[in-house]
Amino acid sequence: EIVLTQSPGTLSLSPGERATLSCRASQNINYNYLAWYQQKPGQAPRLLIYGAFRRATGIPDRFSGSGSGTDFTLTVSRLEPEDFAVYYCQQYDTSPFAFGPGTRVDIK
């Protein structure tokens, strides 16, 4: 079973700043089957990135994903007010398709 850890737990930043979120897997994730989701309070999650670096439909290019193997990163180049939310990574290489515990990005 692949276990994901995310860091930091909380990131306090100001609008316009760069956010760098980390997701680490307990074992290698094949085919870069790693996705990132954004969730705002009271809403369902939204797919941002799949295949480690591919942006989902309609996702602004300030969101980017990178990494391979066991270490992955989500970067938001310049935070907009609507980007303050919780972000989850998920591996979909091997069942169970677990999520990481999440990183909360809040306004400093």
Partner 1 sequence: QVQLVESGGGVVQPGRSLRLSCTVSGFTFSRYGMHWVRQGPGKGLEWVAVIWYDGSKEYYAESVKGRFSISRDNSENTMYLQMNSLRGEDTAIYYCARGDENSLDHWGQGTLVTVST
Judged by CB under 8 A, the stretch of 14-22, 60-68, 72-80, 88-96 that binds partner 1 is 88-96
Polymer length of the chain: 108
Transcribe 90-104 into DSSP letters: EE-SSSS-PBP--EE
**76 closest CA partner among 59, 57, 63, 89:** 63
Minimum CB–partner distance for residue 86 and partner 1 (Å): 8
List the interface residues with partner 1, window 54-73 (CB under 8 A).
56-57
Angle at 96 between CA 5 and CA 99, to 5 degrees: 35
Minimum CB–partner distance for residue 88 and partner 1 (Å): 5
Minimum CB–partner distance for residue 53 and partner 1 (Å): 12
**90 closest CA partner among 37, 44, 43:** 37
Minimum CB–partner distance for residue 27 and partner 1 (Å): 17
How many residues sit close enough to partner 1 to count as binding (CB under 8 A)?
A: 25
Judged by CB under 8 A, the stretch of 12-20, 67-75, 76-84, 85-93 that binds partner 1 is 85-93
